[in-house]
């Protein structure tokens, strides 16, 4: 029986702190060292951004070092730590750091240990105030990871311009694909009431370099563009400004009709154009640094230019023109597939968008999901990456775990993001990775960007699962530097969030890294995809076959029959392989040269097809499902050993969640194997546990109130 204890409330809310808990360092030698290095601080400047940077530094040093009397206005000539933009530094230091500062641009920073007039000093400098704030956060993070500052020589700048979160938050505070409670945007109380969460949200984002947020669902409601709501948006923008975060809004294409009183939203109609011009001017009047619009048009029922026989270029450029005078951007999503197009859904975005390359205005960013279907546990990279050299193409990842176990499965997504970013598109020969296509090093781009669909809600721990915080953190780190490896990110996050003990960090790092392959194994092994139950995408539904549009049905994707399983995207099938550059096109056209992780993505193969390890396909699928379950069991056993390093509440919380994950991993295994078995007509191989329920039982499960479903008003 569960034994429940009264605990200090403060314990209950420990998870609220995210990676900014600034835990007290117990190593007194290290504390003394850090104290000596940060005791007298000359922190120059007094902008809003500098004020919050100072406060953050005070908070961080105070908590980590127990130093409640940090001096911020020391004499720069004798200070231990000198913080200031280039111009504020003494000329000698300016000269010494000039070369570094040339490299870091508007958002990068330098942290360097110098000897000044015979005295050791740390210098934190940059070209702008916001970069100083980024540097302060980084300095605190290094200390939080107990790294030595003695010889620090860190010159760092973001490799990507736009580092953005997309919130799919509705005006009624529901969150589409949200698994962490209600939206953090309390529209009812805005603009007057500024929830402390908004400030903490901005701090967390700034600490990892996120510099843009879109507040509202891409399945948009035009009301957000009315004066009543714009006043609320303005209040949020005011909160975010000191933290370097620009606000974007989702613009419903039909807004001129819905809130403008026009009878058309035709992008070539002058009244429509003028309406958007005026609307943009109105918004910039309230929010001078407004980011721009994010648009989902002619996608899954959303209105768009095609409603008027215009195309995406017409639509995007019309909005771009309205925003251009104000330096605003249009982010136009490429996630399109049509109910009227019988072609493989995986091909449609490429087919439609690639011909537009070069036609979009400079301030249009084309936002493309990491894969061609929809945020699956694993997909090959989207073939559009690298295929639109003249377009500012940005990548969209999903941080919220729509297809990855909601907020009860521990899955470390930087491993997934890294796999995509490291994928070689071969568009300009070997080494043309997605990261290079994105960060502008493959082709010169007007603007580069990486977007993550947020996993943030009102839950005390922000993300529903405390380990899902790592995915927010990791997304930010990769948006700053898409070449960071997932292990580094895991290491950083674990130390900042929980503990610097190696006995904790090392096994947990392994757990995090393995967690992504585990979920692929127990949900969608060997290239299977989109076999989720319908609508809510909670749990398995490979049998679902009767939805209105063929490409909404799992059966469309796995295509299992007595002859085998998989989607034939070869030249003999949908020929989706043709959208990739050589040699991928050639390699992926043949199952023998296709990486097995993508096997059933590209091929329909017989049940007795022989895999690399000599197993038949049927046995291989079954063993992968079992392996996924085993991996979760291992995660549980690792976590058990971590008890000494985390609080009792934290340990209990994650233990409960891992138990749900194990239960659901078994559910996936049993339901999928029982269903596929009706086609393979083969026994489960040795080592695969027998299902404890019937296929009919699994089919009977219904979850009408699974979270994250699109609300009915939409």
Which residues are designated catalytic? 300, 374, 402
| SS3 readout for 314-327 | HHHHHHHHHHHHHC
Strands 81-85 and 119-126: parallel
d(CA 439, CA 632): 35
Q: Using CB under 8 A, which of the segments 251-259, 371-379, 649-657, 685-693 binds a second copy?
A: 649-657
Taking CB under 8 A as the criterion, the residue among 94, 145, 238, 359 binding a second copy is 238
d(CA 266, CA 54): 50
**For the chain, how many residues are written?**
714
Compute the 3-state secondary structure of the chain and give helix, strand, coil in percent, each to the nearest 5: 45, 10, 45
Q: Using CB under 8 A, which of the segments 195-203, 262-270, 280-288, 487-495 binds a second copy?
A: 195-203
**Closest approach of a second copy to the CB of residue 190, in Å:** 10
C-alpha to C-alpha distances, 546 to 70, 218, 291, 299, 345, nearest whole angstrom = 66, 27, 42, 21, 17
Q: Using CB under 8 A, which of the segments 91-99, 452-460, 468-476, 615-623 binds a second copy?
A: 452-460
**Closest approach of a second copy to the CB of residue 93, in Å:** 26
**Closest approach of a second copy to the CB of residue 705, in Å:** 4
Taking CB under 8 A as the criterion, the residue among 30, 59, 142, 262 binding a second copy is 59
351 binds a second copy, rule: CB under 8 A: no
Q: Report whether 22 contacts 58 (CB < 8 A).
A: no
Q: What are phi and psi of 451, to 5 degrees?
A: -125, 140
Interface with a second copy in residues 62-81 (CB under 8 A):
63
**Closest approach of a second copy to the CB of residue 198, in Å:** 9
DSSP state of 597: G
179 binds a second copy, rule: CB under 8 A: yes
**Closest approach of a second copy to the CB of residue 125, in Å:** 20
Containing 695, the helix (H) or strand (E) segment is helix 695-700
Q: Using CB under 8 A, which of the segments 179-187, 284-292, 329-337, 372-380 binds a second copy?
A: 179-187
Taking CB under 8 A as the criterion, the residue among 76, 144, 181, 452 binding a second copy is 181
From 126, 127, 121, 118, select the one nearest 149 (Cα to Cα): 121
Q: Using CB under 8 A, which of the segments 118-126, 158-166, 170-178, 525-533 binds a second copy?
A: 170-178
Interface with a second copy in residues 241-270 (CB under 8 A):
242
d(CA 219, CA 299): 9
d(CA 60, CA 142): 11
Q: Considering beta carbons, is residue 194 or 268 the nearer one to a second copy?
A: 194
Taking CB under 8 A as the criterion, the residue among 64, 79, 132, 171 binding a second copy is 171
Q: Considering beta carbons, is residue 365 or 646 the nearer one to a second copy?
A: 646
52 binds a second copy, rule: CB under 8 A: yes
Q: Report whether 618 contacts 608 (CB < 8 A).
A: yes
Cite the DSSP H helix spans in 642-690.
Answer: 648-680
Taking CB under 8 A as the criterion, the residue among 239, 365, 531, 577 binding a second copy is 239
From 213, 228, 210, 212, select the one nearest 171 (Cα to Cα): 228
Dig out the tokens for 606 from the structure: 């017989």
C-alpha to C-alpha distances, 576 to 119, 326, 582, 606, 664, nearest whole angstrom = 64, 40, 13, 20, 32
**Closest approach of a second copy to the CB of residue 56, in Å:** 4
Taking CB under 8 A as the criterion, the residue among 102, 106, 150, 172 binding a second copy is 172
Interface with a second copy in residues 19-48 (CB under 8 A):
20-21, 48
Taking CB under 8 A as the criterion, the residue among 19, 44, 56, 162 binding a second copy is 56
Q: Report whether 148 contacts 467 (CB < 8 A).
A: no
- String of b and e for 355-379 (b: at least 16 CB within 10 Å)? ebeeebbebbbbbbbbbbbbbbbbb
Interface with a second copy in residues 404-443 (CB under 8 A):
406-408
Interface with a second copy in residues 354-413 (CB under 8 A):
406-408
First and final C-alpha spacing in the chain: 44
194 binds a second copy, rule: CB under 8 A: yes
**Closest approach of a second copy to the CB of residue 241, in Å:** 9
Q: Which residue has the tokens 């035009």?
A: 222
Q: Considering beta carbons, is residue 242 or 591 the nearer one to a second copy?
A: 242
Binding string, 659-678, against a second copy, x = CB under 8 A?
xx--x---------------
d(CA 558, CA 568): 10
d(CA 130, CA 48): 10
d(CA 454, CA 62): 30
Side-chain half-sphere CA neighbours of 266 within 13 A:
9
d(CA 551, CA 556): 6
Taking CB under 8 A as the criterion, the residue among 66, 193, 339, 612 binding a second copy is 193
Q: Report whether 194 contacts 184 (CB < 8 A).
A: no
200 binds a second copy, rule: CB under 8 A: yes
Which residues have C-beta within 8 Å of that of residue 704, sequence separation ≥ 6? Answer: none
Taking CB under 8 A as the criterion, the residue among 33, 96, 197, 321 binding a second copy is 197
342 binds a second copy, rule: CB under 8 A: no
189 binds a second copy, rule: CB under 8 A: yes
Beta bridge partners of 565: 605
Q: Considering beta carbons, is residue 74 or 199 the nearer one to a second copy?
A: 199
Q: Using CB under 8 A, which of the segments 80-88, 181-189, 316-324, 669-677 binds a second copy?
A: 181-189
Q: Considering beta carbons, is residue 117 or 713 the nearer one to a second copy?
A: 713
Q: Using CB under 8 A, which of the segments 255-263, 475-483, 609-617, 699-707 binds a second copy?
A: 699-707
Q: Considering beta carbons, is residue 572 or 663 the nearer one to a second copy?
A: 663
526: left (phi over 0), alpha (psi -120 to 50) or beta: left
Beta bridge partners of 429: 427
Taking CB under 8 A as the criterion, the residue among 649, 685, 699, 710 binding a second copy is 649
Q: What count of other Cβ atoms lies within 10 Å of the Cβ of residue 197?
A: 15
Which residues have C-beta within 8 Å of that of residue 527, sequence separation ≥ 6? Answer: 378, 566, 596, 597, 598, 599, 600, 601, 602, 603
Q: Using CB under 8 A, which of the segments 167-175, 379-387, 512-520, 552-560 binds a second copy?
A: 167-175
Q: What are phi and psi of 602, to 5 degrees?
A: -110, -15
Binding string, 2-21, against a second copy, x = CB under 8 A?
xxxxxxxxxxxx--xxx-xx
Q: Using CB under 8 A, which of the segments 78-86, 290-298, 481-489, 656-664 binds a second copy?
A: 656-664
Q: Considering beta carbons, is residue 50 or 421 the nearer one to a second copy?
A: 50
203 binds a second copy, rule: CB under 8 A: yes
Dig out the tokens for 602 from the structure: 């590209």
From 49, 22, 244, 240, select the one nearest 140 (Cα to Cα): 22
Interface with a second copy in residues 511-550 (CB under 8 A):
none
Q: Considering beta carbons, is residue 233 or 622 the nearer one to a second copy?
A: 233
Q: Considering beta carbons, is residue 661 or 680 the nearer one to a second copy?
A: 661
Taking CB under 8 A as the criterion, the residue among 80, 161, 627, 653 binding a second copy is 653
Q: Considering beta carbons, is residue 223 or 354 the nearer one to a second copy?
A: 223
In the complex, which residues of this chain contact a second copy (CB under 8 A)?
1-13, 16-18, 20-21, 48, 51-52, 55-56, 59, 63, 171-174, 179, 181-182, 186-189, 192-194, 196-197, 199-200, 203, 223, 238-239, 242, 406-408, 458-460, 649, 653, 656-657, 659-660, 663, 704-707, 712-713
């Amino acid at each position: 029986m569960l034994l429940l204890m009264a605990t200090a409330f403060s314990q209950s809310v420990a998870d609220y702190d995210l990676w900014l808990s600034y835990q007290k360092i117990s190593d007194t030698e290290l504390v003394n060292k850090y104290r000596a290095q940060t005791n007298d601080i000359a922190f120059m400047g007094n902008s809003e951004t500098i004020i919050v940077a100072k406060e953050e530094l005070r908070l961080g040093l105070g908590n980590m070092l127990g130093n409640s009397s940090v001096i911020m206005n020391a004499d720069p000539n004798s200070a231990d730590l000198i913080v200031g933009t280039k111009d504020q530094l003494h000329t000698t230091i300016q000269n010494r750091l000039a070369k570094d500062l040339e490299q870091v641009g508007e958002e990068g920073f330098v942290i360097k240990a110098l000897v000044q007039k015979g005295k050791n000093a740390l210098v934190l400098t940059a070209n702008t105030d916001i970069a100083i704030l980024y540097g302060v956060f980084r300095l605190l993070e290094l200390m939080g990871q107990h790294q030595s500052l003695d010889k620090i020589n860190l010159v760092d700048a973001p490799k990507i311009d736009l580092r953005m979160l997309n919130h799919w938050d509705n005006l009624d505070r529901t969150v589409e694909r949200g698994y962490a409670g209600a939206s953090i945007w309390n529209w009812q109380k805005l603009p007057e009431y500024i929830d402390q969460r908004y400030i903490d949200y901005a701090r967390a984002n700034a600490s990892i370099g996120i510099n843009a947020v879109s507040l509202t669902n891409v399945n948009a409601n035009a009301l957000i563009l009315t004066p009543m709501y714009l006043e609320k948006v303005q209040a949020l923008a005011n909160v975010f400004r000191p933290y370097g975060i620009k606000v974007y809004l989702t613009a419903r294409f039909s807004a001129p009709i819905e809130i403008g009183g026009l009878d058309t939203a035709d992008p070539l109609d002058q009244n429509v154009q003028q309406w958007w011009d005026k609307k943009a001017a109105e918004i910039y009047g309230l929010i001078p640094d407004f980011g721009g619009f994010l648009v989902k048009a002619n996608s899954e029922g959303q209105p768009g230019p095609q409603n008027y026989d215009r195309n995406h270029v017409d639509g995007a450029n019309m909005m771009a023109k309205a925003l251009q005078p104000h330096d605003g951007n249009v982010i136009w999503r490429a996630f399109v597939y049509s109910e009227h197009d019988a072609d493989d859904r995986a091909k449609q975005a490429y087919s439609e968008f690639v011909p537009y390359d070069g036609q979009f205005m400079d301030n249009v960013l084309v936002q493309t999901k990491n894969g061609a279907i929809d945020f699956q546990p694993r997909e090959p990279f989207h073939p559009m990456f690298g295929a639109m050299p003249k377009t500012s193409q940005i990548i969209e990842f999903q941080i919220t775990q729509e297809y990855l176990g909601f907020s009860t499965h521990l899955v470390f997504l930087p491993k997934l993001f890294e796999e995509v970013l490291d994928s070689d598109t071969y568009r300009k020969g070997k080494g043309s990775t997605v990261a290079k296509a994105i960060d502008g090093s493959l082709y010169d781009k007007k603007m580069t960007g990486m977007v993550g669909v947020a996993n943030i809600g009102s839950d005390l721990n922000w993300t529903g699962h405390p380990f899902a915080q790592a995915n927010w953190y990791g997304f930010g780190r990769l948006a700053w530097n898409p070449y960071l490896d997932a292990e580094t990110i895991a290491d950083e996050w674990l130390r900042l969030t929980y503990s610097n003990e190696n006995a904790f960090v090392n096994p947990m790092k392994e757990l995090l890294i393995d967690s992504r392959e585990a979920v692929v194994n127990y949900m969608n092994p060997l290239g299977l995809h989109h076999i989720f139950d319908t609508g809510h995408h909670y749990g398995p539904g490979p049998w679902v076959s009767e939805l209105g549009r063929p490409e909404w049905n799992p059966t469309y994707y796995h295509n299992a029959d007595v002859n085998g399983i998989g989607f034939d995207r070869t030249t003999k099938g949908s020929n989706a392989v043709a959208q990739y550059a050589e040699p991928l096109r050639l390699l992926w056209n043949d199952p023998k040269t296709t990486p097995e992780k993508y096997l059933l993505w590209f091929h329909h193969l017989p049940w007795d097809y022989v895999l690399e390890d000599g197993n038949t396909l049927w046995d291989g699928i079954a063993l992968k499902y079992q392996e996924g379950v085993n991996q979760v069991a291992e995660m549980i056993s690792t976590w058990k050993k971590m008890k000494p390093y985390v609080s009792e509440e934290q340990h209990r919380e994650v233990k409960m969640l891992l138990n749900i994950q194990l239960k659901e991993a078994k559910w996936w295994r049993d339901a999928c194997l029982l269903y596929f078995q009706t086609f393979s007509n083969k026994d489960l191989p040795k080592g695969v546990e027998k299902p404890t329920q019937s296929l009919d039982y699994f089919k009977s499960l219904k979850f009408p109130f699974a979270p994250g479903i699109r609300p009915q008003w939409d």
